[in-house]
Amino acid sequence: MKQLKNRPGGFALAGMTLVLAACGGGSDNRAAAPEIRVLSTRADFVTGGDALVEIALPANVPTNDVKVSVGNRDVSSNFAVRADGRFTGLVTDLANGANTITASSPSIHTSSLTVTNSPAGGPVFSGPQIQPWVCATPAPQAESGTTPSTNGSGLSTAAKDAQCNITAEVKYFYKTTTAGCAAVLPDPTTGSAPANSCFKPYDPSAAAPADLATTTTDTGVKVPYIVRRERGTLNRGIYDIAVLADPAKPWTATAPQNTWNGKVLYQFGSSTGQPRKQFRPQGNWATDLALARGVMVAQNSLSDSQYNSNRVLMAETVMMMKEKIQKSYGLIKFTTGIGCSGGSINQLTASSIMPGLLDGVIPSCTFPDSETTTMEVQDCVLLVELYQKPEWQTLMQNAGYTQAQINAKKAAINGHVDQTACHAWNNLFGNNSKPGNFFARTVTDNVTGAITQATTPSNNCGLPASVVYDPATNPSGPRCGALDSAVAVWGKTADGKFARDTRDNVGVQYGLKAFTTGAITAEEFVTLNERIGGFTRDSVLTGGARTAADAEALDIAYKAGIVTNGKQLAKTAIIDLRGWDDSLIVPLPTGAAGSAAGLTGIHHVWRSFSLRDRLDKAVGNHDNHALWRFGRFGFVPTAAVTADAFVTMDKWLTNIKADTRTTATIQQKVASGKPAEATDFCYLSSDAAQATKVTDKAACDADPFLKPSASPRQVAGGPLSEDVLKCQLKPLNAADYAPQTLTAAQLSRLQAVFPSGVCDFAKPGVGQQDAVSPLNFASGPGGQPFAAAPVSVAQ
């Protein structure tokens, strides 16, 4: 047997070089064996029992006598020569596990390909699915006793099994010509459209509505503006796929309608959470920007960060969604990701975990990943609590500082514009790691930082309080922290009680630069580090002891690409839309909302520069990264900016796909395909019309609503890349604090805080390494690299 050449690009979803493998002796006049290719995904990543397959035959071999089999089952009738000249077919009814597809003919040598199929409910490589998991129901149901509430699925039937598989449904909507309509979802709750929606239900059996709009796709096809919206379930999430379509015509993967241009816009939802429930997608598929051009819009609730903090599961879900599209609708030309905040995390992390999954991304409100964002969240929780401790407040009072002076010291320690950014992190996500029921502690005064504790408990699972983990009364209950939701990836500690943890602040000298620059005194610096403390495994404040990460978790975070890796990201085109959200109290420029209303205080400008720093350190440039800054309207890009980015990214990806060089890497193609429009620029906050693109970086950096600040870890000496989860240590040295000095007693106290030494940020982080992703977690936590993609074998 001779193995055919592996496909180029490792994990590309379609396309392999045809190699004709000769077999047999000199008297055998049969042509070489064909190559069998799975076009819809990798041959070992097939899900749901079906796959779009091509039989690449040698020239002049007739197709009518080619037999295609799955095991002993003849599926030849599924195959035909299509409009693109390829001999393809949809192979169905694949069993879970290994399946052998064979192609044979009297005139060719036989070849076979082993295809591995997983259930449509998953998993493929993300490891055992977290339990419990509450299926959505046709109508939402309230919590009752120990029975959790459910979410409305927007589907008419209930889940068919424990994996929450629900029968998919197709509905049609049309774009109205009514002026002043709103781009809102046509089915937010009931399945019907709000009165002012731009998209209304369309009945294929009725006469065309009088207000039916038309559109012309970017391929020049003029059609009625009718959208086919498919809703179903995949990998236990609920998905929506929306695309222009003619309801009167059939649509298959081998004969797509010309209303679709082959492009996909994948929407990633914001925020971060880990509820144990099935949700509808967070995003709005009614996106005229994409649909009107013939671009398909896709989303799945498990690629919405608010509903899923397991980034490996998220990447797996995106992969399964692309497979679903390719075997149901046709081959994808390219896929663009879009989304803000948690949506930016998922775009960038998917590109790090599995390069090529997204061809280009348009993150806004950008964070490079969740693990290093958690680092700032946890630091802020510790700091806002520290500032309310008696030791700190006594220092402030004895020194006679005004509140403004106190807040200036907080800002210097935090690295932020002012004290409120840490307030925002504490209030919005400070409890995200809590494994059980908790009483939220919220900063209720942005001037003093005063904290109020809730009287009603909450939990991150969204389950009844009596059900979830409690260290005393229910130690075996489901744990609800972010790391717990991905325990299949991280694994557990040796005692089997806790998910391994990436959080760490051992050796971190909080306020280091604030001290050396004179913003805080020696006594304030020492007291700060004495009293800041850390967290227990249950995310309870320790008061003194620092938090220590698990070495295994650090290794996984980097190796799996969960901490985004610059070498992986360099393979993806990025247009980074960076607005301003650095404070809760600083007013926006006059005429732009007039205040900080609507701001969250967490989407800081420096994060985009952190992302760029990772690229620069990893590959020596950021040729794949364009940074567009705006500050006048806060952190959400305007419709005009988004449209500009969408069109520019389309041009960029079209250039990349047109680059057929076999000697160029994808990184080189991304860089050389970058259009002139994908250059760095900003709209100054003084530009009321936001119409003048400024390419002078110095001018942009001088704008207070465009320039980057920093973080608590950067003030502690950490790098701009903010990718060191746990630092290596060095001995404490009094000379490192120059020009400031510490007394012998203060040095002794610091030695007690840092008995093993302080952070040496000149060295890589503990466990820091290049990603070798994607990893397969099916056999257990930690993951293993995949073997080469399966290819067909001549017999």
Please state the pTM of the whole predicted model: 0.95
Other Cβ atoms within 10 Å of 535 Cβ, number: 20
Q: How far apart are the first and last CA of the chain?
A: 5
| Residue 496 CB neighbours (<10 A) | 7
Under 8 Å between Cβ of 47 and 122: yes
| pLDDT greater than 50 at residue 6 | no
pLDDT at residue 449, rounded to an integer: 98
pLDDT at 3 > cutoff 80: no
Cis omega (within 30 of 0) for bond into 774: yes
Per-residue pLDDT at 590 exceeds 70: no
pLDDT at 192: 64
- pLDDT class for 104, splitting at 50, 70, 90? very high
pLDDT over 60 at 21, yes or no: no
Q: How far apart are alpha carbons 189 and 140 in whole angstroms?
A: 10
C-alpha–C-alpha distance, residues 132 and 478, integer Å? 8
Strands 360-364 and 441-443: unpaired
**Nearest Cα residue to 487 out of 643, 312, 702, 653:** 312
* pLDDT bracket for residue 219 (50, 70, 90): very high
How far is 374 from 533, CA to CA, in rounded Å? Answer: 16
Assign 10 a pLDDT band (cuts: 50, 70, 90): very low
Largest CA-CA distance found in the chain, in angstroms, rounded:
101
| Cβ density class 335-355: b for 16+ within 10 Å, e for less | bbbbbbbbbbbbbbbbbbbbb
Please identify which residue in the block is written with the tokens 């939802």. 269
- Confidence band, pLDDT 50/70/90 cuts, at residue 773: confident
Is 568 in contact with 351 (CB distance < 8 Å)?
yes
Encoding tokens for residue 78? 């599924």
For 282-311, what is the mean pLDDT? 97
590 vs 178, 587, 594, 693, CA distance in Å? Answer: 33, 8, 5, 20
For the chain, the C-alpha Rg in angstroms (whole number) is 28
**Rounded to whole angstroms, how far apart are CA atoms 667 and 672?**
9
At residue 202, does pLDDT exceed 50? yes
Domain locations along the chain: 2-119, 371-559+712-759, 566-639+657-702
Tokens for 429?
């996500």
Neighbours of 299 (CB within 10 A): 26
Tell me which residue of 120, 173, 142 sits closest to 319, measured CA to CA: 120
Cα separation of 184 and 207, whole Å? 24
Report the C-alpha gap between 52 and 330 in whole angstroms.
9
Band the pLDDT of 190: cuts 50, 70, 90.
Answer: low
Q: Which has the closest alpha carbon to 300: 287, 315, 290, 288?
A: 315
pLDDT band per the 50, 70, 90 thresholds, residue 597: low
Average pLDDT, the chain: 94
C-alpha closest to that of 703 among 603, 595, 629: 629
So what's the architecture of 2-119 in CATH? Sandwich (2.60)
Question: Is pLDDT above 80 for 674?
Answer: yes
CB–CB of 729/548 below 8 Å?
no
Q: Is 657 buried (19+), middle (13-18) or exposed (0-12) by CB count in 10 A?
A: middle
Cis? peptide before 250, omega within 30° of 0: no
